Structure 1
Amino acid sequence: MPRWLPLPSIPYPPEKVGYWGPITSTLNWCEEDYYATVYSAEIVNALTNLMFMWLGVKGIRNCRRYGHDSIFSVAYCGYLVVGAGSFLFHSTLKYPMQLVDELSMIYTTCLMCYASFSYSRSFTVRLALAVFLTGLAVFITLYYHYLQDPVFHQNAYALLTTVVVLRSMFTMEATLRPSLRHSTEADRLMRQRQGLPVPSKERQSYENERDLKILRSMWFMVAYGLSMFLGGFAIWNLDNHFCSTLRVWRRTIGLPWGIALEGHGWWHLMTGMGAYLYIIWGIWLRHCLNNQQEEYYLWWPHFWNFPEIIRKGSGENTIQDTEQAKKSR
């Protein structure tokens, strides 16, 4: 331990022969293999996936508890499989586990794509969309298995994610921005002249203010989630490009402090949070599309908490929940 680091530490153990045998994956990350235990090839990269698994279970339970649409329960199942697959991949560095890890990311994003584009569509359109996305997922699976090129998977995942996020942004603005959904005073008067149902001026003003408040919270969530994704991606790239230097630094400062320099582990934590925020955003947006802003609210007292969409009057609200509900009215 260098003298300028007064904290106690222990030296990194040497790499061992792994329980899972020879490495067959096409990727191997910067964390040294089997240094902590023979049962986990990359223990930090494996354990950081426990957050995925915990949040996946939490999300499934919340969907059942608060009556969120079933498509989001399926999405949380996919999110859980991503975490479990990544845990097994980093524990074993076996090619089949690599496929479970990487392809489950594609499948979960396809589910969110369906949720984003299928709302209020006819049965024919929803069926065509489901067939298209299933075919796309099968094509990516077979072509990736043929190429075995991680860059193809990364580009496919990035493209799908970009499409889904941009679509959700458009839907959010079109649904909640008063000037885009014809909820201004001029639109109200026009509907009145045409003999169409018109809410009172006070009611319209209240709804506009409510939805703008929701919109601001959603944009903060989007910005925060994207920052987590991009920050994790930047750390992951630093981990790839400066791996040899980072390994020297980790062995210099010793355990447990060297764990903080495991860049791929940070990628798991940050993208896990970003993906969780995206599903929460999707749930809240779906309730707004269903005109249920009065029935559900966002519980997120601090940015370091894991937010939830909660049904008002569910009987399970804490004092903090009640206060949050008052603020959202």
Structure 2
Amino acid sequence: MAAAFFSMLPSIPYPPEQDGRWSPVTSTIDWCEENYIVTQYSAEIVNTLTNLLFMYLAAKGIRSCLVHGHDTVFMVAFIGYLLVGSGSFLFHATLKYPMQLVDELSMIYTTCLMNFATFSYGKSRRYSTFLAMALISIAIFITLYYHYLQDPSFHQNAYALLTAIVLFRAIYIMEVNIRPQFRSKEREAANPRPRGGSASLKAQDDARDLATLRTMWKMIAFGLGIFLGGFAIWQLDNEYCSKLIKWRREIGMPWGFVLEGHGWWHLMTGTGAYYYIVWGIWLRHHLNYKQNEYELLWPNFWTVPDVVRRGFSATSGHVKDRKKEL
């Protein structure tokens, strides 16, 4: 039905799959998108261009870290995020094995970095050093073993495991440090804003923290949902590749581009990963008792979130003069 509708729209017929500027293919994976159908300079044009979202969101995140003074580890995370998008751009444009390694291994390294940021928070220097050495060892092992196996499923499983570990750990930290009934006495005592025994002030802070948790859980649910949705579409792309190619050729360009499942994977997982880093920034400010200095800008689900200093003016690019909130 849908194919019949799109076939009635003005379209450009798909040319035959052909060689291009970067032929032959040396990567261990050749995706469902047909090669060099639009230009000889990009093997998979849709899979290539959808990585521009990674680059845009990475630039947005790096700028936010510079302007608003977020912890350095998140700046490094956004740089890693940029490397993921750039590596994937080059990989899908060329389908060369070295570019495949840049794409896939940068995902592993960035996730290891987020594991360090999550597990090292509040720990001693000795513990953090040991953790860093352990994660570097894991990254080196994955790099060497993946290069030896050249099996994409190994990379995908390793990435999924590292992502799940850091996600569940961050959720645990969020709950035990922000939810009032889970907070320890040590956490309460570390609060630089003494409440002076005021029950009303404590109730206000607890209500604020519960509201924050509700918004954080919305971010987690939305980011994880769109991430897993992209993964599901990618799996359908793998499973029904021959049928999708047939439908694309019946529909013609550019409408057939909508059926490029791996391109949707880039758009959706790129968005989900960005949500995770921004959530990590907001969580870190709460853990540092700076929740009154920063705010989350996320008016609706159709906009990407950002954590900014309170009173920040987007037009002037600096914080407005105003009294600090107590």
TM-score for both structures, normalised by structure 2: 0.92
CA displacement at 1:86 relative to structure 2 = 0.2
1:136 to 135, 138, 158: 138
CA displacement at 1:14 relative to structure 2 = 1.9
CA distance in 1, matches of 2:117, 2:303: 25
Classify the secondary structure of the residue corresponding to 1:41.
coil
Which residues of 2 match residues 277-292 of structure 1 at below 5 A?
A: 277-292=275-290
Matched, 1:55 2:57: yes
Q: What is the aligned length?
A: 313
CA distance in 2, matches of 1:2, 1:55: 33
CA distance in 1, matches of 2:74, 2:159: 19
Aligned to 2:173: 171
Aligned to 1:325: none
Aligned to 1:85: 87
CA distance in 1, matches of 2:71, 2:3: 55
Q: Which AA in structure 2 matches 1:283?
A: I
Give the unaligned 5+ runs of structure 2: none
CA distance in 2, matches of 1:305, 1:115: 26
CA distance in 2, matches of 1:96, 1:150: 14
How big is each residue's C-alpha offset from its partner over 1:298-325, in whole Å with a ceiling of 9 and x where there is no partner? Answer: 101121111100110234379xx99xxx
Matched, 1:226 2:224: yes
How big is each residue's C-alpha offset from its partner over 1:166-208, in whole Å with a ceiling of 9 and x where there is no partner? Answer: 000001111111100158xxxx9xx9xxxx9754111100100
Aligned to 1:95: 97
Aligned to 1:213: 211
CA distance in 2, matches of 1:58, 1:296: 17
Q: Which AA in structure 2 matches 1:91?
A: A
Give the unaligned 5+ runs of structure 1: 323-327
CA distance in 2, matches of 1:16, 1:238: 25
CA distance in 2, matches of 1:250, 1:285: 43
Which residues of 2 match residues 2-41 of structure 1 at below 5 A?
A: 4-5=5-6, 6-41=8-43
Distance 1:112 1:40, change over 3 A: same
How big is each residue's C-alpha offset from its partner over 1:209-241, in whole Å with a ceiling of 9 and x where there is no partner? Answer: 000000000000000011111101110000000
CA distance in 2, matches of 1:64, 1:27: 37
Distance 1:9 1:206, change over 3 A: same
* Aligned-CA RMSD value: 2.3
CA distance in 2, matches of 1:294, 1:4: 53
**Is the Cα–Cα contact under 8 Å of residues 195 and 201 in structure 2 kept in the other structure?**
no
- Percent identical across equivalent pairs? 60
Aligned to 2:261: 263
Matched, 1:249 2:247: yes
Classify the secondary structure of the residue corresponding to 1:179.
helix
CA distance in 2, matches of 1:150, 1:271: 18
